[in-house]
Structure 1
Amino acid sequence: MAEVVVLFLTLCVQLLALPLYILSFLGIWQPFCKKIFFPFFLEKFTADYNQKMLQRKQDLFHNMMDFSDPSGKLTVLEIGTGTGSNFQFFPPNCRVICTDPNPHFQERLAKSMARNKHLEYGQFITTSGEDLSQVPDASVDVVVSTLVLCSVKNMKAVLREVCRVLKSGGAYYFLEHVTADHSSWTFFWQQVYSPTWRLLFDGCNLTRETWADIEKANFSEIKLQHIQVPLCWTVIQPHIIGYAVK
């Protein structure tokens, strides 16, 4: 019975969003989303998100220098850099390599770089997390992804790339929204909204058990917490946060 109700409500949401589906069918929505809507939305959303998550992010990234090389230098590769919302939390003088599959973030990214002059910036690589071939094996001390694994096409491939580019003893930092407990109302509404949400927000998936893939990846140590984030959209309140050591 519950599955029937979910299906019915999902169809109702899709009917309400019918213009969006028509634009997608005509090939209009995706280019508009990537070039204009999603960069604009993400800039506004991450500003609010950072305010709500200020202490959490400070706590998450506080020990990044523990993974610096013997000379004290730290190279950070960020997957899905977006608008550069994490730069303020990275330690001074570390070198940051930015990657994102969407080149239309670069204007907003440049503004974030100008505000965060305590960092050294490497090249911007337009690529997906599944293909970091431009980054050599075992060449970075830290990899970071926040609110990224929800939208990648192949999470296992992304995590393989993370392990490949990390030096031995390097760390992967993550902060991701995930599926809710399957007995909860949040999970019920995640299922209802999921198809339309994915279309509206550039492939974002509401029901991924991201922690399971991280736990199965090739890490020697994982520190992971499940938390609830005080966001107005309850469907993205369940999160995982932590880091994994290669």
Structure 2
Amino acid sequence: MSYNDLWIRDLGARYGVALLAILAIVFWMASRWPKMRESWYRDYLIGFEVECSDLAAFHKRRLFEPLHCLISADETLRDVGRIRILEIGVKTGENIAFYPDDCHLVGVDLNKRLADHLFHDENAWRFRHIFVEQTIVGDGSRLGQTIPSGSVDAVVTTRTLCSVESPAAVLREIRRVLVQGGTYFFMEHTPDPRQGTLIRWLQMFWSRSGIWPSLYGGCRPDFDPIPSIEMAGFEQVTWRRAALHGDTSRPHHLALTRHHIIGTAIR
């Protein structure tokens, strides 16, 4: 047996078991990754996103206040003093607390269990003041088969446009389904408005590396929704900036998604 053969045999004897163990771990991780990612994202939604909504309560109350004064374009709803709201990206339903009593909600979310969450989960009592008209699984970019044009009085998105595959397509659908004169209410996080900061660099790195989107439902911290909203063809767009501050269980998440635009767009 040659020296080279002995060297290879010794190398295999020393590291073969370790290599097999590493390969087994890699294959196990690959097979479990979808479930792990789903669990990770669920914990994020019921943890940080709920905390973030609490920090934004003042801004949301102010943003959604006009919903209580809207008069529906739907004659049937108007006669009973109700309106129809479409929310894209319902998540855990934290916005619903700010909606008018007895309003009709059409909810859109990628969560296949959205209907169960709104009707049957232990916290479903929080949504009893509204009527859930329909739930749709998707990101809001293809609603033509389920929501007629000009049938919705108001549309809501909060921290949603960063996660959809095509913000332009979602905004086209928002404009299409709104009644003439209807209002799109939005609160979307933006990149750090200051150029050249460490936060701005981290937002770009985590987004473009694909790591952050893969863990958090497609969210891209470096996505700026302002140009997309302003070019979507609405008659009037008004917005202001706001930054969230406070204690959360994931301060790094807040640091990367602290800055928001809050506003409305009229069809």
Return the TM-score normalized by structure 2.
0.77
Is contact 1:176–1:240 with CA below 8 Å preserved after alignment? yes
Is contact 1:151–1:203 with CA below 8 Å preserved after alignment? yes
**One of 209, 225, 229 as aligned partner of 1:210:** 225
Is contact 1:180–1:186 with CA below 8 Å preserved after alignment? yes
Distance 1:175 1:28 in 2: 34
Equivalence for 1:4: none
Distance 1:105 1:95, change over 3 A: closer
Equivalence for 2:179: 167
Distance 2:197 2:28 in 1: 31
Distance 2:242 2:93 in 1: 23
Distance 1:218 1:67 in 2: 22
RMSD of aligned C-alpha atoms? Answer: 2.1
Q: Rg larger in 1 or in 2? A: 2
Distance 1:47 1:203 in 2: 18
| Number of aligned positions between the proteins | 224
Equivalence for 1:152: 164
Is contact 1:227–1:240 with CA below 8 Å preserved after alignment? yes
Gapped regions of structure 2 (runs ≥ 5): 1-25
Is residue 243 from structure 1 mapped to residue 254 from structure 2 by the alignment?
A: no
Equivalence for 2:30: 26
Deviation, 1:102, is: 2.2
Kindly report structure 1 stretches of 4+ aligned residues shifted beyond 4 Å. 22-25
Distance 1:221 1:57, change over 3 A: same
Distance 1:60 1:67 in 2: 13
Deviation, 1:106, is: 4.2
What secondary structure, in the 3-state scheme, does the structure 1 residue paired with 2:94 have?
coil
Equivalence for 1:10: none
* Most deviating of 194-203 and 112-121: 112-121
Equivalence for 1:56: 59
Distance 1:23 1:199 in 2: 19
Where do residues 116-131 of structure 1 align in structure 2 (5 Å cutoff)?
A: 116-131=127-142
Equivalence for 1:188: 201
Distance 1:208 1:100 in 2: 20
Deviation, 1:32, is: 4.1
* 1:148-188 per-position Cα deviation (integer Å, ceiling 9, x unaligned): 10110000000000001000010111111111232323202
Equivalence for 2:18: none
What secondary structure, in the 3-state scheme, does the structure 2 residue paired with 1:176 have?
strand
Distance 1:75 1:81, change over 3 A: same
Equivalence for 1:19: none
Where do residues 217-236 of structure 1 align in structure 2 (5 Å cutoff)?
A: 217-230=232-245, 232=251, 233-236=254-257
Distance 2:133 2:30 in 1: 38
Is contact 1:58–1:89 with CA below 8 Å preserved after alignment? yes
What amino acid is aligned across from residue 60 of structure 2 in structure 1?
A: K
What secondary structure, in the 3-state scheme, does the structure 2 residue paired with 1:187 have?
helix
Is contact 2:44–2:216 with CA below 8 Å preserved after alignment? no
Equivalence for 1:93: 102
**One of 57, 79, 93 as aligned partner of 2:88:** 79
* 1:62-120 per-position Cα deviation (integer Å, ceiling 9, x unaligned): 01134321623210011011111111011111111111122144443334542232111
What secondary structure, in the 3-state scheme, does the structure 2 residue paired with 1:131 have?
coil
What secondary structure, in the 3-state scheme, does the structure 2 residue paired with 1:73 have?
coil
Is residue 198 from structure 1 mapped to residue 213 from structure 2 by the alignment?
A: yes
* Most deviating of 159-168 and 233-242: 233-242
Distance 1:76 1:113, change over 3 A: farther
Is contact 2:118–2:127 with CA below 8 Å preserved after alignment? no
What secondary structure, in the 3-state scheme, does the structure 2 residue paired with 1:55 have?
helix
